[in-house]
Structure formats: C-alpha cells, structure tokens
Amino acid sequence: MTKVQLHYPLVRPIADDDAQAIANVHSWYGILRVRLATDMNHVSVEYDASRLSEKDVEDVLHKFSIPIRRQFSV
C-alpha cells in the first residue's frame, strides 16, 4: 500500500449535507481518510495510490458532491 495525501480547496463553505457526504466517502475502496481543515477552506484526502490515481480521487469526491475545486479537466 502506498499512502498519498492530497489537498483540495473548497469552492464554497461546507454545509450539513456536505459533512455527511464527507463521512460517506470513507466507504469508497482505496480512500483511507478525508478531513476538513481547521480553517474550513479545504479538505485533505489520504488514499491508497496503488488502488487509485489522483484523478480517481477527485472523481470520487465529486461523485459524493464534495464542493472541491477541480484540478483535472473533465
């Protein structure tokens, strides 16, 4: 297992529904940890790079409607 951590800026403040979505992202295979920064301006994602690519992680966050700013084009 190769653990990697990414940081994504948020495009808007986190709402209550987003907090539940962040909790649900942990169910995705290869996502190890998702944390909201104390400044509430970005999220940090720790994942298994032997299972997922950076683009995969971003796609998963969008699938769960986490309001991150995309780093890769769709």
Assess if residue 37 is contained within a domain: yes
Judged against a pLDDT cut of 60, whether residue 74 lies above it is answered with: no
Per-residue pLDDT reduced to its tens digit, 22-33: 999 999 999 999
0.85 surpassed by pTM: yes
Report the CATH number at residue 35: 3.30.70.100
- The three-class DSSP label of residue 26 is coil
More confidently predicted of 4 and 72: 4
Assess if residue 70 is contained within a domain: no
Amino acid 70: pLDDT: 80
- From residue 26, alpha-carbon distances to 19, 22, 33, 59 in Å are 12, 7, 6, 14
The parent domain of residue 20 ranges over 3-63
Assess if residue 74 is contained within a domain: no
Amino acid 73: pLDDT: 58
Per-residue pLDDT reduced to its tens digit, 31-73: 999 999 888 899 999 999 999 999 999 999 999 999 998 876 5
Question: How many distinct structural domains can be found in the chain?
Answer: 1
Assess if residue 52 is contained within a domain: yes
